Structure 1
Amino acid sequence: MRASNLTILTGMALFAAVLPGAAQATEAAAGHYVIGANAAPGAGIVPPEPGLYWASQTLYYQGTLGRSVQLPIAGRIESGLQAGFFSTAIAGLYVPKLDLGNFSLAFSVALPLQNLDARIFSGTRERSENNWSFGDMVITPVALGYRSGQNFFQARLDIFAPTGNYSTSSIANVGMNYWSFVPTIAYTRLGRNYDLSIGAGIDLNTRNPKTRYTSGAMFHLDATAIYDVAPGFGLGILASMMSQVADDRGGIAARLNGFRGQSFAVGPIARYNFQLGSAHLQTMFSWAPEFGVENRPTGNAFQFRVSGRF
């Protein structure tokens, strides 16, 4: 595959991991990863050509946590949750002009605009809120790639900054009010008409100073297999999982036995590459229905992405 095409695949892949979410266990049964968020073609590729790239991503997630389940929200214990989450984000990715041989280096930043519609239940009492706000900014200070023939490897660090609105009086916070540091590794193998990609990362979270609650580390794994069925058009399958590997701590976490969560998803994915004037664009759509869920809502995540180069 030509390097110019690789750059577009990577714009999608690097951006896949920098979308703040609202759909895992930990505080408020929410966090900085949405199931299937990193499942994308070219997940292991860092652009070999210098330049400035852009990507946009729209995500919708809807899920329900049963009324019998207690969860921590804004420093309180609530019962049950219905959540509808919408996010649209823009990311920029820069590849400096460096002679690194088979290695490549990139930096990126993303800012989402998000809406959260939340409803909780406490006995016969119900409370609902809706909130529009900019979410937590994501900075990738370093993404290092290596390529060898059809094989591509990537290692990067994503940092989620607490820039989104957060209030202990609200149940619909799009901001998490804590930092997350996410070391990630990924691999892609490109064939003439197929793409196999897999990536793994772990969310390491700081304490929320307003609730004194620390969400436990969350491991997540995303994989895709896509086959081109027509020129520029590919169909495939994604598989994702997340599993909390450390208990929540502080605040009311002990009363909830650490509130560890997990989720799995398997669903379809499609991509379409096309030319628009002199620009080469790639679009992608995916659906990640959840199963095997513990201590978090069970639902569906839908994503649409498009990327290109300035």
Structure 2
Amino acid sequence: MKRALVTLALCALPMAPVLATEGAIGRPITGLQGTSFAGVVPPTPGWNLGLSYAYYSGTVGAERESPLPGGGSALGLDVTAQLFSITGIYVWDTGGGRWNFASVAVVPFAKMDVEADLRIGSVSGSVSDSDTGLFDMAIVPVIASRHFSATKHLSLALYIFAPTGSYEEGRLAELSLNNWTYSPTVGYTQLFQKGSLEFSSLAAVDFYTKNDATDYQNGAVFRLDSLLVKRFSNGWGVGAAGGWIEQLEDDDAAIADRLDGFKGHSLAIGPILTYAKKWEGGQVEFSARWLQEFDVKNRFEGDPFLLSASIQF
């Protein structure tokens, strides 16, 4: 169970550095939030470190009008987002009972490149923008993990995303969603085949505060991410990851009303590869996944990629 810790905390990392729901994506990228051992906080106390790199290139076709993150709208959007995140995790010293607890802080840095096709009457043209820097940070005051048995585990947490990145009304490439987001989250892990086969799932609802700069209120978004991984004695593991994003409420703004609420939906699935290496007093696990989005509505559509490393000292 020891290696569960850091990968659990990494579910905060891939939250998108790409516009708000008013920009057709929201914080989550389909299928990237799910992590190994999502339901487990192990009993071993102390500090741990997580590193991740997420890459996303997506498109909204010209047949769909989309609200822009800094205000206004566009017909046709292309985005390339890269996010590097550093995560610090502290496991509380609560012993080996039925409950264990951890706290998490995430510091993300983003590179954004956005291009939009604009049309005003019979006149059309394209504009582009890019920016690099600190993105919106996240904290998890408490992750509480309940161990029902050696193979069944459940976690409860509240992720809080703060508008710490730069935001300038009217820009295409924003490094902040310019709102606070609160995400109550439930994780579940079940192990099979003497622990070598893992199924983990992570479900959450993202509640956004209003973007006061544009007077745009994003609707609540449900997301579910799952993975199935088979690990072998040589340290390698293979499996599949998938994700589902479903907006539960209409967005609230003048342009959203014109677009019938602009509720988003998407699915994604793809392979995952892991490798773990242990040493006396610690271990590292690397993970890579690539997914393809499909059945997408009112969101960017692309092929997200995530590379992560979890280090236990």
**Deviations 1:117-160 (Å, cap 9, x if unpaired)?**
10000133100111101000000011100112211110101000
Q: What code does the residue aligned with 2:183 have?
A: V
Confirm or deny that 1:205 pairs with 2:194: no
Paired position in structure 2 for 1:39 = 34
Q: What code does the residue aligned with 1:10 have?
A: L
Paired position in structure 2 for 1:76 = 72
Could you tell me whether the CA contact under 8 Å between 1:137 and 1:161 is conserved in 2? yes
- Aligned positions of 1:142-181 closer than 5 A: 142-147=142-147, 148-181=149-182
Change (3 A) 1:22 1:80: farther
Could you tell me whether the CA contact under 8 Å between 1:23 and 1:35 is conserved in 2? no
Paired position in structure 1 for 2:277 = 274
Q: Percent identity?
A: 31
Q: What code does the residue aligned with 1:77 have?
A: S
Structure 1 residue 25 displacement after superposition: 7.1
Matches of 2:90 and 2:236, distance apart in 1: 27
Paired position in structure 1 for 2:61 = 66
Structure 1 residue 104 displacement after superposition: 0.4
The aligned length equals 305
Structure 1 residue 276 displacement after superposition: 5.6
Paired position in structure 2 for 1:187 = 188
Structure 1 residue 42 displacement after superposition: 0.8
Aligned with 2:304: secondary structure? strand
| Alignment counterpart, residue 265 of structure 2, candidates 251, 262, 279 | 262
TM-score normalised per structure 2: 0.93
Could you tell me whether the CA contact under 8 Å between 2:19 and 2:174 is conserved in 1? no
| Alignment counterpart, residue 108 of structure 1, candidates 104, 109, 116 | 104
Greater shift after overlay, 128-137 or 90-99?
90-99
Structure 1 residue 16 displacement after superposition: 1.8
Structure 1 stretches of 5 or more lacking a match? 1-5
Structure 1 residue 39 displacement after superposition: 2.1
Could you tell me whether the CA contact under 8 Å between 2:109 and 2:133 is conserved in 1? yes
Confirm or deny that 1:196 pairs with 2:199: yes
Structure 2 stretches of 5 or more lacking a match? none
Confirm or deny that 1:244 pairs with 2:247: yes
**Deviations 1:212-261 (Å, cap 9, x if unpaired)?**
10111110001111112452111001111101010001242212211001
Paired position in structure 2 for 1:215 = 218
Confirm or deny that 1:90 pairs with 2:86: yes
Could you tell me whether the CA contact under 8 Å between 2:18 and 2:112 is conserved in 1? no
Root-mean-square deviation (Å) = 1.6
Matches of 1:8 and 1:136, distance apart in 2: 27
Matches of 1:274 and 1:130, distance apart in 2: 38
